[in-house]
Amino acid sequence: MKYIFVFLFLIVIGCNTQQKTNHKQNQNGYDTIQLSESDLYKGPDLLSPPDSPGFQYSSYLPISFDGFLERGYSEENSKGMKIFNSRNKIILKLMAYPTKDLNSDEMGRRDTFALFYPNMKSIIHIYDSKLKLKYKEQNFLIIFQSQLVPYLRSEVKLGDLVGLFVLHTTYDEFTNTHVILVNEFHKY
């Protein structure tokens, strides 16, 4: 009986330690990062790299985070999900690296876009690393292609200015969440 009590005590201590560890991990970058005005690039449009056979940078139009907000508000009488499929380039200071831990809700948000664009169904799974940002009470779930993340980590330091070439896919008015898929990046 004494050993059972000790065993249960150790399990309870272990569970409490695990909860504290997860909480610390969440504070160290897995939660949403609040963007301030100083984190955003407000200057003139920075030139994109030249187009290549593998990627057409010129087909991505510059947009600011305020531009995303305006696009989300543009159809005020429609409540629910808005589908965009808009190619954009956003420039910001890299505050954290993407993490490979999409939960089922985030995968559902990502996969919803593929339902409306069947050509995305076969490749949507390659978008599996996220960066969650918040700007002016709007949530941004930015999902990177898995093969981009190692290059991003090696080429761009935290705090550097980076251009993200993205698809603005959806905006959910109920949760104020924009889903953005990253196809390429460029360090400035």
pLDDT, tens digit (0-9, with 9 covering 90-100), for 143-181? 999 999 999 999 999 999 999 999 999 999 999 999 999
- The mean pLDDT of 111-130, rounded to a whole number, is 94
Total-model pTM: 0.81
Q: Which of 34-43, 68-77, 131-140 has the highest mean pLDDT?
A: 131-140
| CA 172 – CA 82 distance, rounded (Å) | 6
Give me the chain's average pLDDT, please.
84
Q: Percent of the chain having pLDDT more than 70?
A: 82
Of 25 and 126, the one with more pLDDT: 126
The confidence score (pLDDT) of residue 37 equals 86
pLDDT at 25 over 50: no
pLDDT-wise least confident of 61-75, 120-134, 140-154: 61-75
Burial state string for 98-133 with b = 16 or more CB within 10 A and e = fewer than 16: beeebeeebbebbebbbeeeeebeeebeebbbbbbb
- At 66-112, the pLDDT tens digits run 999 999 887 656 678 889 999 999 999 999 999 998 999 999 999 99
The confidence score (pLDDT) of residue 21 equals 31
pLDDT at 54 over 70: yes
Whether 176 and 166 have beta carbons less than 8 Å apart is answered as no
Burial of 163 (0-12, 13-18, 19+ CB in 10 A): buried
